[in-house]
Structure 1
Amino acid sequence: MIMTFGDESAWDTLGLGGRESTWSQEQVDAHFQAMGEFYAELAANGELVTGFGLADPSHTMTIEIVDGRPVASDGPYAEAKEVLAGFGIIEVDSHDRAVELAARFSALVETRVELRPVMEQGGQEM
């Protein structure tokens, strides 16, 4: 899984969630076109399982069990300046290929990304 992190200003930059974009419409369009091309390449190669951007962090809920009952509260799941902004799940033949794709994606979104294996039931890496 390739996870993209950023701070909440990313939603402002792109004008997401009803926010006013700090980029020109041409910059926003170019960004989403580049992202679409990257995902299309992965799909054509059979390496893309799925991927999505996530909604504005203000829509986040935290769920926890308190005294045996689920309790939901509004707000980000962690006290942090950075939030999970999106993810892509890829299926590749090697660790090196996963690192290569994560590096390309990091350059594309101009921020760090986290690469983490997905576990199957029973704890085995996929």
Structure 2
Amino acid sequence: MKYMIMTFGDSSAWDTLGLGGGEATWSEDEIAAHFQAMGDFYGELAANGELVTGFGLADPSHTMTVEIVDGRPVTSDGPYAETKEVLAGFGIIDVQSHDRAVELAARFSALVQTRVELRPVSEPGGQDL
């Protein structure tokens, strides 16, 4: 069963790591420890055969919306949602059970120090992968 683990944050999430264009609020050692912990987590999942993929996303200021209007693509710069919370990153896992997915999502939540959303991935036609 495949699941997507999604991490949400606001602009302060990128500022914490110095990725939002401002000064980092964490020390270099805290940032290094964070990325090491994330790398260790993803490394464990890869070794177990449970990691499909995962990425952090760039600061929301780099977001663009794309929409078809009158048959032509129209783009707009800036965050795509009028909200304080935006998608910060995601991982896709392939696990044997829902319980294992919840366990990994809980560990990921502890790593990123915020709530995460866990959602089953479906094939076209609605079949769970």
Alignment of 1:2-13 (within 5 A): 2-13=5-16
Of stretches 68-77 and 20-29 in structure 1, the one that deviates more from structure 2 is 68-77
Aligned AA for 1:70?
Answer: P
In structure 2, stretches of 5+ residues that fail to align are none
**Counterpart residue number, 1:27:** 30
**Counterpart residue number, 1:123:** 126
CA distance in 2, matches of 1:45, 1:27: 27
In structure 1, stretches of 5+ residues that fail to align are none
Of structures 1 and 2, the one with the larger relative CO (CA 8 A, separation 6+) is 2
Number of aligned pairs?
Answer: 126
The answer as to 2:109 corresponding to 1:106 is: yes
Alignment of 1:44-55 (within 5 A): 44-55=47-58
Q: CA RMSD in A?
A: 1.0
**Is this contact kept in 1: 2:6–2:87, CA < 8 A?**
yes
Aligned AA for 2:65?
Answer: T
The answer as to 2:17 corresponding to 1:14 is: yes
Deviations 1:68-126 (A, max 9, x none): 22111001111100010000000000111001100110011000100011111222111
Aligned AA for 2:112?
Answer: V
Q: Where is the strand percentage greater, Structure 1 or Structure 2?
A: 2
Give the match's secondary structure for 1:108: helix
Deviations 1:51-83 (A, max 9, x none): 000011010001112222211100111110001
Of stretches 12-21 and 23-32 in structure 1, the one that deviates more from structure 2 is 12-21
Match for residue 61 of structure 1 among 61, 64, 68: 64
What is the TM-score normalised by the length of structure 2? 0.94
Give the match's secondary structure for 1:97: helix
- Identity score, percent: 84
Give the match's secondary structure for 2:120: coil
The answer as to 2:97 corresponding to 1:94 is: yes
